[in-house]
Amino acid sequence: MSAPPDKPVDTSLQTPIDQPHTPKVSEREARQVAEAAREQAWRKPSFAKELFLGRFRLDLIHPHPMPSGEATRRGEEFLSKLRDFCETKIDGALIEREARIPDEVINGLKELGALGMKTDPKYGGLGLTQVYYNKALALVGSANPAIGALLSAHQSIGVPQPLKQFGTQEQKDKFLPRLATSAISAFLLTEPDVGSDPARLATTAVPDGDSYILDGVKLWTTNGVVADLLVVMARVPKSEGHKGGITAFVVEAASEGITVENRNAFMGLRGLENGVTRFHRVRVPAENRIGAEGAGLKIALTTLNTGRLSLPAMCVGSGKWCLKIAREWSAAREQWGRPVAKHEAVGAKISFIAATTFALEAVVDLSSQMADEDRNDIRIEAALAKLYGSEMGWLMADELVQIRGGRGFETAESLAARGERAVPAEQMLRDMRINRIFEGSTEIMHLLIAREAVDAHLAVAGDIIDPDKPFSAKAKAGANAAAFYARWLPKLVTGPGHLPRTYAEFHPAGHPDLAAHLRYVERNARKLARSTFYAMSRWQGRMETKQGFLGRIVDIGAELFAMSAACVRAEHMRLAGEHGREAYQLADVFCHQSRIRVEELFTRLWSNTDDLDRKVVNGVLSGTYTWLEEGVIDPSGEGPWIADATPGPATRANVHRPIH
Q: Point out the residues that are catalytic.
A: 439
Q: Which residue type is seen at 165? A: Q
294: alpha, beta or left, given left = phi > 0 and alpha = psi -120 to 50? Answer: left
User: Which candidate, 438, 75, 444, places its Cα nearest to that of 223?
Assistant: 438
Distance CA 623, CA 328 (A): 51
Write out the E strands in 337-430.
Answer: 338-339
Q: At what angle do helices 425-433 and 145-152 cross, to 10 degrees?
A: 30
Instruction: Give the number of other Cβ atoms within 10 Å of residue 472's Cβ.
Output: 9
Go through the chain and tell me how many residues it has: 660
- Return the ∠ at Cα 122 (arms to 158 and 372), rounded to 5°: 60
Distance CA 159, CA 187 (A): 7
Backbone angles phi, psi at 252, to 5 degrees: -70, 125
User: Which candidate, 371, 360, 521, 550, places its Cα nearest to that of 449?
Assistant: 550
Using only the alpha carbons of the chain, give its radius of gyration. Answer: 26
Greatest alpha-carbon pair distance for the chain in Å reads 81
β-pair partners for 242: 239
Concatenated DSSP letters of 134-187:
HHHHHHHHHH-HHHHHHHHIIIIISSHHHHHHH--HHHHHHHHHHHHHT--EEE
CB of 18 closer than 8 Å to CB of 634: no
- For 82, 239, 329, 606, the CA distances from 336, given in Å and listed in that order, are 43, 77, 16, 44
Residue 191: strand, helix, or coil: strand
Three-state SS sequence of 225-282? CCCCEEEEEEEECCECCECCEEEEEEEECCCCCEEEEEECCCCCCCCCCEEEEEEEEE
Distance CA 35, CA 466 (A): 14
Residue 61: strand, helix, or coil: coil
User: Which candidate, 65, 47, 134, places its Cα nearest to that of 564?
Assistant: 47
CB of 361 closer than 8 Å to CB of 316: yes
**Using the 8-state DSSP alphabet, how is residue 29 labeled?**
H
Q: Which residue type is seen at 583? A: A
Backbone angles phi, psi at 232, to 5 degrees: -115, 130
Q: Which residue type is seen at 215? A: D
**Using the 8-state DSSP alphabet, how is residue 64 labeled?**
P
Distance CA 364, CA 558 (A): 12
Q: Which residue type is seen at 53? A: L
Tell how strand 211-222 and strand 245-252 pair up. unpaired
CB of 514 closer than 8 Å to CB of 62: no
